[in-house]
Amino acid sequence: LAPANVRAIAPYVPGKPIAETARELGLEESAILKMASNENPLGSSPKAVAAIRGALDDLAYYPDGAGYELKGVISRVFGVKPGNLVLGNGSNDVLELTARAFLTRDDSAIYSRHGFMVYPLAIQAIGAKAIEVPTQGYETDLAAVLAAIRPDTKMVFVANPNNPTGTFTPWQELRDFISRVPPNVLVVVDEAYGEYLPPELASPAVSWVEQYPNVVLSRTLSKAYGLAGLRVGYGVANPEVADVMNRVRQPFNVNHLALVAAAAALEDHDFIAKSRANNSAGLTQLEAGFKRLGLEFIPSRANFITVRVGDAAKVYQRLLAKGVIVRPIAGYGMPDHLRVTVGLPEHNARFLEALEQALKG
Ligand code: PMP
């Protein structure tokens, strides 16, 4: 029954759940270490959790469909206006809304090789043509992306930092790129991992949306704020773009608990500082471990790191047998690599030990 464009969609395969793996291995859930989905090993912002507890009596009511309070907090914290904002059920929803609002079957949209899988998914669901632009190495090649823009191209997706490579494009390069993109092509800048950047590399992109009405930023509460299970993200754009996205959005796409938790989390600067500190120490620990094992890795600015292990499917299975779940990324054109999410120091140590054994066979 489904049209060809929908049948052609490769399903998004999420990380293996802990409970399922525990059952398969006959282990307690507590014996499983999941470092596969770029979740926050510190848990959730405690302010968000407290806010959720206080909101449990309100569940008989519809959520605030306009996200009035959360938009107020985002506006205050990031110096934008509520009219610049669109809230999403996770930032995947924001990405999908851009495609739904601005693409038709007659258009094409571009993303980079080794780019996030949801981009082609969102494009193909519309029936538009998804164009994957090759890269030289693992970094997004913005010159190649620019060269790939055709008359029918209406949208470009760029993640910074990128998943699954963790690579970072200097903001000035991205800005130069945006200034060269035709104004009828929307540039979606996906900043899912932006909070992990050190202050000197922090994104200046909110200040771009007034100057470049064809820019949409996509952000999430799933990573550094530790709220992946609630599903909340937001887009920042010129008011006209935000308005169109809000029209195609489901009226109550973000649930009440997610709204109140996100509002509290965004002001939990302490938690973000802790997440960032744990992450940079963890990246250093993992890099040192990879060097000791003689493994090549892609230097990362995100909360995960991608390492070349040879036959990654085999190493993945061996790690899994030891109760350690990481992410194979063959689906991203990287069959020799595994992506591992930064954990607590003891998680990283256990993973490195398991990896050493898995590599020996
Ligand atoms: N963008 C990128 C680059 C991601 O890696 C992810 C999470 N895998 C997302 C967006 C979506 O995250 P969420 O829907 O949880 O906000």
CATH topology of domain 46-265: Aspartate Aminotransferase; domain 2 (3.40.640)
pLDDT for the residue numbered 310: 94
Judge if the beta carbon of residue 168 lies within 6 A of ligand 1.
Answer: no
Handedness of CA 38, 40, 44, 47 (dihedral sign): negative
**pTM of the entire predicted model:** 0.97
Judge if the beta carbon of residue 116 lies within 6 A of ligand 1.
Answer: yes
Regarding the domain with residue range 4-43+269-360, which homologous superfamily does it belong to in the CATH classification? Aspartate Aminotransferase, domain 1 (3.90.1150.10)
Judge if the beta carbon of residue 89 lies within 6 A of ligand 1.
Answer: no
Q: Which of 44, 91, 195, 221 to mutate to test the pocket of ligand 1 (most atoms within 8 A of CB)?
A: 91
Residue 352 structure tokens: 């490195």
DSSP for 98-155, written as a single string: HHHHH--TT-EEEEETT--THHHHHHHHHTPEEEEEP-SSSS--HHHHHHH--TTEEE
Domain parsing of the chain, residue ranges? 4-43+269-360, 46-265
Residue among 69, 38, 46, 11 nearest 254 (CA): 69
Residue among 146, 143, 138 nearest 113 (CA): 138
* Euclidean distance between CA atoms 26 and 18, whole angstroms: 12
Per-residue model confidence as pLDDT tens for the chain (361 residues): 898 888 988 888 787 789 999 999 999 999 999 999 999 999 999 999 999 999 999 999 999 999 999 999 999 999 999 999 999 999 999 999 999 999 999 999 999 999 999 999 999 999 999 999 999 899 999 999 999 999 999 999 999 999 999 999 999 999 999 999 999 999 999 999 999 999 999 999 999 999 999 999 999 999 999 999 999 999 999 999 999 999 999 999 999 999 999 999 999 999 999 999 999 999 999 999 999 999 999 999 999 999 999 999 999 999 999 999 999 999 999 999 999 999 999 999 999 999 999 999 7
